[in-house]
Structure 1
Amino acid sequence: MPRKLSHRFPLSDRDRQALLQERGLDVSHDTLGEWNVDFSPLSVDERRYREPRRGSRWYMDEGCPSIGGVRHWLWRAVDEHGAVLNVLLQEHRNTEAAKSFFDRLLGRGDVPELIHTDELWSDGAALRESLVLHGVEHVQVVSTARHNNPIEQSHRPTWRQERQQRGFRSRQRAQGFFELHARITNLHHPARSTVPALWRRHQQAAFTTWRETVWQAA
Structure 2
Amino acid sequence: MTLTAAPRRHRFPVSIISQAVWIYHRFNNSYRDIEEQMAYRGVQVSYETIRSWSIKFSSHFRNVIKKRERKPSDKWHIDEMTVKVNGEMFILWRAVDSDGYELDVFLQKRRNKKAAIRFLSRVLGSYPIPRVIVTDKLKSYRKPIQAMCRSTEHRSHKGLNNRVENTHQPTRRKEECLIKFKSPQGVQRTLALMGKVRNLFAVEVGRYLKKAFERRETFKAACTIWSEAAQELLCI
Both structures adopt the same fold (TM-score exceeding 0.5): yes
How far does residue 109 in structure 1 lie from its aligned partner after superposition? 4.4
How much is the aligned-residue C-alpha RMSD, in angstroms?
Answer: 1.5
1:190 aligned to 2:204?
Answer: yes
CA contact (8 A) 1:21 1:27 kept: no
CA shift digits 1:57-99 (9 cap, x unpaired): 0000001111111111110000011100111111111111111
Structure 1, unpaired ranges of 5+: none
Q: Which residue of 2 aligns with 1:206?
A: 222
Q: How does 1:31-180 map to 2 (within 5 A)?
A: 31-130=49-148, 133-142=149-158, 145=159, 147-180=160-193
How far does residue 46 in structure 1 lie from its aligned partner after superposition? 0.8
Between the aligned partners of 1:110 and 1:68, the Cα distance in structure 2 is 35
CA contact (8 A) 1:8 1:181 kept: yes
1:16 aligned to 2:34?
Answer: yes
Structure 2, unpaired ranges of 5+: 1-18
Which 10-residue stretch deviates more, 201-210 or 187-196? 187-196
2:228 partner letter: E
Between the aligned partners of 1:84 and 1:9, the Cα distance in structure 2 is 17
Out of 2, 21, 28, which is 2:47 matched to?
Answer: 28
CA contact (8 A) 1:46 1:216 kept: no
CA shift digits 1:1-47 (9 cap, x unpaired): 11101111111222112123333323134x43332222111111111
Percent identity reads 30
CA contact (8 A) 2:99 2:205 kept: no
CA shift digits 1:101-149 (9 cap, x unpaired): 001111124110000001111111322332xx1121101002xx2x212
TM-score (norm 1): 0.91
Q: Which residue of 2 aligns with 1:216?
A: 232
